[in-house]
Structure 1
Amino acid sequence: MILGIIWALLSSTLGWSAFTINWIDPFGTIFINLLKLIAVPLVLFSIISGVANIGDPASLGRMGGKTLLIYLITTVMAISLGLLLVNTIKPGKLIDQQSRIDNRISYEIWASSQGYQIKDGINYLQDPAFFERAQEISKLSHAELKEASVSDKLEKANKRKETSPLQPLVDIVPDNFFYSLSNNGLMLQIIFFAIFFGVCLLFIPNDKSQPVLNLVDGINEVFLKMVDLVMQAAPFFVFALLAGVVSKMAGDDIGKVIEIFKGLSWYSLTVLIGLLLMIFIVYPSILKGFVKKIPYTGFFKAMSPAQTLAFSTSSSAATLPVTMECVEQNLGVDKKVSSFVLPIGATVNMDGTSLYQAVAVIFLAQLHMIDLTFGQQLTIVLTTTLASIGSAAVPSAGLVMLIIVLDSVGLNPAWIAIIFPVDRILDMFRTVVNVTGDATVCSIIADGENMLDYHADKDPTETFDLDS
């Protein structure tokens, strides 16, 4: 990342932007394509596996329903908090106007080439004042830019028709699943199918469902390994990605590079405020509302070993054994509850990741002068909530899911390169949020089932040998 940023600075200073865009940036495009290649099947099989592995629906009863409901509520709360903060602080609008106009022009050219409608209905390419700048940015001819400026309007006019109030609900249910698979804009349909498929696996005899589940789990492991292999090559790809994206956005003007990173600092601060609010305000408030016996400081004292490990590993799956031990030994949760609630949480409860994705999508839209409507932001809430079910509990999995969310609202998935430089440090914080959320829900469920035996005088460090 550092080398990519240094190269971008040198490239802008020395006028090498064309070389960077032609000979280095394509490797960044390959990286994005690989992640997009993996993202859809990973979501599909992860959700099927996560839902189907819940177990026999008849034996789950009240505890299973309460667990999934509370996880869903906390996820929606996290996303809503993220949207509130990013719409209040507006980090993407805190860079200079000219940079945002250039970004907007690039977005409109991209949207036209991909057949997407311009999200807010405004078209800067229709204004002759921006044509000269658009040609400088894109190297497209006047005729090609003219075509880009009207194609989306024509498509919008052709598609304009009366729709029912329930049309968004109709759009979620696919009539051809294989068509949905081949069209990135129909991700909600894939998620619907995956949940429906996974639920149906719960209701058929075990001897029939187990072979299917074994196959799904096996395929899911293959795609997780693909993510692992791609991320092993990430240092090279990230260099190309950062160098290419910054060069495209800044050209030979080094001042714009500084503006990009100024915007990133505001974005990081917005995400960080949201994550810290979830850890220190939202979760303790929810816990206090349901479980009176666990004090504020007692909860954090009990969970500190798991939170520390989550921060260092950026993986809620790797932290799961320590989370279970913290919850059982320090909070006094019965093993019957923790062994059921926490593994589900590691699969479906990604509050930190969901909050970060919501902030990231709106920030990137603001950076490109795109004003998303309330309805489009509602789509982000829905897509992010459902996609969080398919987020693997491994480092940087949220970045793969972000591609899905960007696609769902017709924005350029390649924009993840803009936030890549700060992703790892934010990933560490959002994993702490995920683990803290799992422990909060687990404590609430245990208390409701009369399976919580908390003792305030328990020393959490006595139970652990973190070196092992």
Structure 2
Amino acid sequence: MNLSLQIFASLVLSVIVGLVLGEGAAAPVKTWIAPIGTMFINLIKMMIVPVVFCSLVVGMTSMGDMKKLGRIGIKTLSIYMVTTAIAIVIGFAVALAIDPGTGMSMAGATAPKVKEAPSIMQVFVDMIPSNPIASMAKADILPVIIFALFVGAGIISVGGKRAETLISFFDAFAEVCYKIIAMIMKTAPIGVFCLLLPVVVMNGPKVLLPLLSVIICMLIGCTIHAVCVYSAMTTVAAHMSPVTFFRGMSEAMAIAFTTCSSAGTLPVNMKNVQEKLGVHRDIASFVLPLGATINMDGTALYMGVCSIFIANVFGVPLTFDQMMMIVLTGTLASIGTAGVPGAGLIMLAMVLQSVGLPLEGLALVAGIDRVLDMFRTCLNITGDAAVAVVVNASEQEVPSDIQITE
């Protein structure tokens, strides 16, 4: 059984075991099983900064051309913004068709406390690290990306033997990082089981059933976006079949589904995209870290669904202008949302405020946010990979007949 099947089997097993154990086993599961899942997440997070920094420096130096970097950056940002806007529209369409929340009551509910989202200008300010080492310690991906770009540009400017020494060092370090990730991935079935079991035990069908319509909306919306938008992108731009794309992404998608962290899945995603989808390292090392920070298609789709849901619960009809405001706000807010669990609530709070919907609606969504986070994170990292494949093909650096390696 290959690793992808092992991870899928552990997903199924965790759901079955969790439903059998029920809420009565929440305490021992939280005490003995959940920490093992946390250890697995920590192992993956351990590699985020080293693999992003080294890969990006190597990618920069292998390009050897600042014009090429600028061209790739413009393509990447443009595609990310467009797919994010499409995701919100799909969320609206699915939610309007299913009409979740109609007939529900919000009696006694209070809105959960949500951290205030930074302004767009503050996001730009925070991108420039005053202390790169501190940014690495906190795993702030955007400042690390900026620092790596400057290091790469500096190495290109120096040139000669001294530059070659540094390039060889970072190249070797990046290879070591990928080997460590491969070792960590061998423990993925155990880690996935230990991550998902506590979620199933503590939530269970009692919490999920009343809000099943929202979960169904998310599942349908994410499936439509992945199958229609991403498949169309990779098929048209890279001549890559959907089967090839999703087979190559299966491991990363499973890790994203259980960890609910775009940043946490980044090392696995970078490895899969290069080894199984044939994306060159210089493209992957730029597009994927940037995507893990600003590309939030799953979160955008979630905002469309939850806006309709909360509007239905409170009996507030959304106008077309309000929906367009949600599309605009959500697309821009995705730039400032970190790829960590629960960050979607920050964006949702911003969107609700922008169109005057009551924030008390967050109370219902917060109850199932962990479940919804699985779907949206899985879609987020799949979108990052699809854009990497498209950008790579546009640079004419990869043949159309890519072969999957097992």
TM-score range, shorter chain: 0.5 to 0.7
CA distance in 2 between counterparts of 1:385 and 1:74 reads 9
Q: Go from structure 1 to structure 2 and tell me whether the alpha carbon gap of 1:407 and 1:328 turns closer, same or farther (over 3 Å shift).
A: same
3-state DSSP of counterpart to 2:101: helix
Does structure 2 retain, via aligned residues, the 8 Å contact 1:333–1:454? no
3-state DSSP of counterpart to 1:92: coil
Gaps of 5+ in 1: 7-52, 111-183, 202-208, 222-234, 243-257, 462-468
**1:70 and 2:79 matched:** yes
Measured against aligned partners, the alpha-carbon deviations of 1:298-334 in whole angstroms (never above 9, x if no partner) come to 1111111111111121111111111111111111111
3-state DSSP of counterpart to 1:91: coil
Does structure 1 retain, via aligned residues, the 8 Å contact 2:92–2:305? yes
Q: CA deviation at 1:390?
A: 1.6
Measured against aligned partners, the alpha-carbon deviations of 1:131-174 in whole angstroms (never above 9, x if no partner) come to xxxxxxxxxxxxxxxxxxxxxxxxxxxxxxxxxxxxxxxxxxxx
Q: CA deviation at 1:412?
A: 2.8
For 2:90, the equivalent position in structure 1 comes to: 81
Q: CA deviation at 1:262?
A: 6.4
**1:414 and 2:342 matched:** no
1:186-265 pair list within 5 angstroms:
191-194=119-122, 197=125, 211=130, 264-265=211-212
Q: Go from structure 1 to structure 2 and tell me whether the alpha carbon gap of 1:441 and 1:372 turns closer, same or farther (over 3 Å shift).
A: same
Q: How many residues align?
A: 282
Measured against aligned partners, the alpha-carbon deviations of 1:181-208 in whole angstroms (never above 9, x if no partner) come to xxx8xx7xx634336657xx8xxxxxxx
For 1:330, the equivalent position in structure 2 comes to: 276
Larger C-alpha radius of gyration, 1 or 2?
1
Q: CA deviation at 1:384?
A: 1.0
CA distance in 1 between counterparts of 2:133 and 2:66 reads 18
Measured against aligned partners, the alpha-carbon deviations of 1:175-231 in whole angstroms (never above 9, x if no partner) come to xxxxxxxxx8xx7xx634336657xx8xxxxxxx6537778888996xxxxxxxxxx
For 2:164, the equivalent position in structure 1 comes to: none
Does structure 2 retain, via aligned residues, the 8 Å contact 1:407–1:413? yes
Q: Go from structure 1 to structure 2 and tell me whether the alpha carbon gap of 1:452 and 1:359 turns closer, same or farther (over 3 Å shift).
A: same
Does structure 2 retain, via aligned residues, the 8 Å contact 1:91–1:263? no
CA distance in 2 between counterparts of 1:303 and 1:261 reads 28
For 1:394, the equivalent position in structure 2 comes to: 340
For 1:129, the equivalent position in structure 2 comes to: none
**1:430 and 2:358 matched:** no
Amino acid across the alignment from 1:270 = C
Q: Go from structure 1 to structure 2 and tell me whether the alpha carbon gap of 1:322 and 1:216 turns closer, same or farther (over 3 Å shift).
A: closer
Gaps of 5+ in 2: 1-18, 24-55, 141-197
For 1:269, the equivalent position in structure 2 comes to: 216
1:339-354 pair list within 5 angstroms:
339-354=285-300
CA distance in 1 between counterparts of 2:358 and 2:136 reads 31
Q: CA deviation at 1:414?
A: 3.3
CA distance in 1 between counterparts of 2:309 and 2:83 reads 22
Structure 1 window deviating more from structure 2 (53-62 vs 449-458): it is 53-62
Identity of matched residues, %: 39
State which of 432, 445, 453 in structure 1 corresponds to 2:391: 445
Does structure 2 retain, via aligned residues, the 8 Å contact 1:337–1:451? no
Q: CA deviation at 1:387?
A: 1.3
- TM-score normalised by the chain length of structure 1: 0.53
Measured against aligned partners, the alpha-carbon deviations of 1:213-258 in whole angstroms (never above 9, x if no partner) come to 778888996xxxxxxxxxxxxx9xxx9xx9xxxxxxxxxxxxxxx9
